[in-house]
Amino acid sequence: MKRTSPGKPKTRAHVVDARWSHPVEESDHTWSAPEGYVIVGREHQGGPGGNTRYRYARLVLAGRELTVRDVRWSRPWIEADGVAHAAPDDHVLVGREHIGEGSGTTRHQYARLMAGTVACSVTPGEWSAELTEEWSVYRAPADAVLLGRRCVEGEKIRSRYLPGTVEA
């Protein structure tokens, strides 16, 4: 886990204007948050062929909206491999693509956040409790964003989520 160095105290960003996306078909979708927004939650209903919605929001720090920069896609992986996949250090999730059933390929879209000309730091929290995927809703804790997800396929698909806080 990333360590912070002593120095000037940092200010934590606040989540504002949170909203849910329209449902997308889990087994075949590419979804990105609108410009200026980041992912703060995910809802899934109905198994591998069911629908997924993303909760997305803007971030504000000291009264100013943070900007989303350097948006990139990860390399694809088999999501149900049980391995935790998270954005690189100091990046947050802004999109997701999943093609195929539970063992299909997934990519995360991630970005840096800027407070004016200053790059924000992102501190990972603790992985969530395991949720049964078929009918699940995950919302990051107050003023936290989504950094990653771990999915395990078995009799029931189970997910865990990694939240994080943003500071500058």
State the alpha helices, DSSP H only, in the chain: none
Taking the C-alpha atoms of residue 25 and residue 23, their distance in angstroms, rounded to an integer, is 7
- Could you report the per-residue pLDDT of 109-147, keeping only the tens digit for each? 999 999 999 999 999 999 999 999 888 999 999 999 999
| pLDDT at residue 116, rounded to an integer | 96
Lowest mean pLDDT among 60-74, 92-106, 127-141: 92-106
Q: What angle do CA 7, 91, 12 make, to 5 degrees?
A: 45
Percent with pLDDT over 70 in the chain: 94
Could you tell me the pLDDT band of residue 75, with boundaries at 50, 70 and 90? very high
| pLDDT at residue 104, rounded to an integer | 83
Contacts of 7 (CB under 8 A, 6+ apart): none
Answering whether pTM is above 0.85, one says: yes
- Could you report the per-residue pLDDT of 31-63, keeping only the tens digit for each? 999 999 999 999 999 877 899 999 999 999 999
Residue 12 main-chain phi, psi, to 5 deg: -85, 140
